[in-house]
């Protein structure tokens, strides 16, 4: 099943934000290993901000998908009544 272009764009955006979060987390870990505590504390703020942004966008996308699913008519493959035999 093909995804709409907006869904693909949303997914790419989330993937990019996830990569940015991973890079920020690696920077934070590097600063910890180097025992650069002041810089690590500042980097922690950046990392948490990236995580919050990714989480917010993920929830928005999930809500959008749920809303779209609710608008779709029920599938014809699952009948509401069992077939009758006469």
pTM for the full predicted model:
0.71
Phi, psi dihedral angles at 75 (to 5 degrees):
-70, 140
The per-residue pLDDT for range 20-76, each reduced to its tens digit, is 999 999 999 999 999 999 999 999 999 999 999 999 999 999 998 898 888 877 665
Q: Provide the token pair at 75.
A: 């599938």
pLDDT in the model for residue 22: 97
Q: Closest Cα partner for 42 from 22, 53, 26, 28? A: 28
Q: Closest Cα partner for 41 from 51, 31, 30? A: 31
pLDDT in the model for residue 23: 97
- Of residues 16 and 8, more confidence is placed in 16
pLDDT in the model for residue 83: 58
């Amino acid at each position: 099943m093909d995804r709409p272009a907006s869904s693909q764009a949303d997914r790419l955006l989330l993937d990019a934000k996830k990569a940015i979060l991973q890079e920020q987390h690696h920077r934070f870990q590097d600063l910890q290993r180097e025992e650069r505590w002041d810089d690590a504390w500042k980097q922690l703020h950046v990392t948490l901000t990236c995580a919050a942004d990714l989480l917010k966008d993920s929830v928005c996308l999930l809500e959008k998908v749920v809303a779209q699913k609710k608008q779709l008519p029920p599938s014809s493959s699952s009948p509401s009544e069992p077939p009758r035999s006469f």
